[in-house]
Each structure stands twice: as C-alpha cells, then as structure tokens.
Structure 1
Amino acid sequence: MYRHILSLATAVAILGQASASCQLSNSLKSAETTAETRKQLCMPQGEGVWTFALDVSEVAVPTFNGGAPWAGLAGYTAYIIYDNECIPRGVYGPSGNDCGTPYVIEDNFLPYVLTVKAIDTDLGGPYFKFAYANGLYSIGNNGCTCSDLSSGLEGEQGCKCAFPLEGESS
C-alpha cells in the first residue's frame, strides 16, 4: 500500500513540474522615458493598446578557427512590453530559465497575466503565441508580424503584436 501511495505521489509531482509555468522577471532597473522608433518592434496604437514584442539577434564575427566553428557567434532573445506610446515598460529574457514554455509575465503595470504559450527564436522564422486576459494572439494573426532588422554582420528580427491592456471587450 505504501509503495502505491509513494508511486502516486511521485507521478503527481512529475506532472506538476511538467505543467508548471516559467516566471520571467523584468530586467529594467528603472523606468524608460525614450520611445522605441523602430516600427518593426512597436508602432503607437492609441490609448489602452500596448505592444508585446520579440527581438531576436545574432552576430557572426569570423574567427577562422576550424576547431570552433561557432566561436564568433553571439546573440540574444528578448521579450519587450511597450505602452501605447512605445515606451518600454518591461524587458524579459528567457535565458537562464530551463523550465521552458509556457513563460509567464506578471508585472504591476499589467492588470492580467501575459502567458507566452509557444515560441520559436530561430532567426530565420521567429514566432510567438501568447494569451492575455481573454485574448489569444499569434504571429500571422491579429495583425501580428515579424520583420527584418538586420544590418552588417548582425542578423535581427523584430516581431510585434498589439493587445488591449484591459482585455478584449465582450
């Protein structure tokens, strides 16, 4: 009997970990005052409509080292929440979190939890899907788009999606 209870408890614990969400923290130490001007990441939408963005970047610097072909490759992935004037309110990075999706963003300026349900941070075709309040948003739907921001040795993609801060009207 004890073995069955222990096995059941172990199974519940494993399932609980598998469905747990990964909490992302805001890396902004102080409030930003400068608006984002790159339209690929944010475009002012009007009062009450904010933007959730994904910025993916890779820089390749030639190393001429055949033993370490990826030695000159560096990059980043960041989620950004912009207010209706495109001022960054939060910057979140999944790096260092091995818990995987869904990523959860809870912040004092958001009345609801933002949950990133699916992501692809491949520079060749980034994608995200997120839930906020009573809405579900994804690249290719709801006016959500990705655009190229690359220049020189840097490959960069910006994805953006507008969402109503107070949720969809019913």
Structure 2
Amino acid sequence: MPKRIAICPGSFDPITKGHLDIIRRAAGLFDEVVVLIMVNYTKAATAFTAEERVDMARRVTRGIPNVRVDFYAGLLADYAREAGACTLVKGLRAVTDFEYEFQMALTNKKLYPKLETLFLTTDIQHMYLSSSVVRQVASFGGDISEFVCPEVLQDIVARLAPGPPGPVRREPQT
C-alpha cells in the first residue's frame, strides 16, 4: 500500500499552538505530514522570513517522527502532485474560515483532481488564536506564552516586542 502523505500548508507567521494541534492530529491520521511553509501573496509582508518560519516549524515539530517541514513558493496543487500527497489538511476556527478554505479546496481539486482536502475543527481552546493575534499581542508587549510553543517564544518576542514606551497620545474629548 502506498504511503499516505498529507500536507498542512500555511504561512505560519508565526507558528502557533493552534497550528501545532492540527499538525499533531494530522500526524495521527497519515503516514507522513508535510508542514508546508508558503508565501501568502495577499499579504504585503511577513514578520518572519521564510527561513525563520521553516526553522520555527522544525523546532516545534521535532518530536513528531512522521512530520517534516518544507518551503514552497508556487502553486500548492503542483507541490502536492510532485510530493505524491493525497490530502491537504486545514484547520477551521469558525464559519468565516470555511468560506475561504472551501474556495481554495475546490480550486486545488480542479488543478489536481487526486487531491482531497480534509478540514479539522480547531480545538476549542484555540478557536480565537491566529498568527495575526500573536503578532498584535506581541507588538504591544503582551504575554504570548499561552499562544506559542516555548521553543519559539523568545524568537517571536525578540522580533515583535515594542521598544521602550513613548508618550501616550489621547484623542481630545468632544
């Protein structure tokens, strides 16, 4: 029987405990899981370089034997075909995620008909969590230790934490 390979694609800017939950669960379902760091062309910039995101993903998945991390800047369907993957695994937090992910699943299926998409609902403790939330909280000096793995916490804080506080500007009361 051929090896069942799944891909967990995303920008992972940065990788969160919510991402890791989906990756671990996918690893229990497939022979091999590729955490595929990708370029999100709808975002103007990323907080971390591709190399940094790959490194962080490798550190947090180190203890999961059937997971490997890779980077790709092309079409996901092309990567899946070349890797011999049968499934894309995507985490869903809310109905709003589904609308976008459903459109992407149909597009990938059209580009590579053998590719299925499996949606895993996010664990309730991570429903609010996203890379954007982590970046925002960290950029204001908030505690993100509950949102990200200890292996990458200091990297994220070092990159995103604000400098010394400046004067507080308040809008005039009208």
TM-score scaled by length of structure 1? 0.28
Structure richer in strand, relative to its length: 1
Structure richer in helix, relative to its length: 2
Instruction: Answer with 1 or 2: which has the greater Rg.
Output: 1
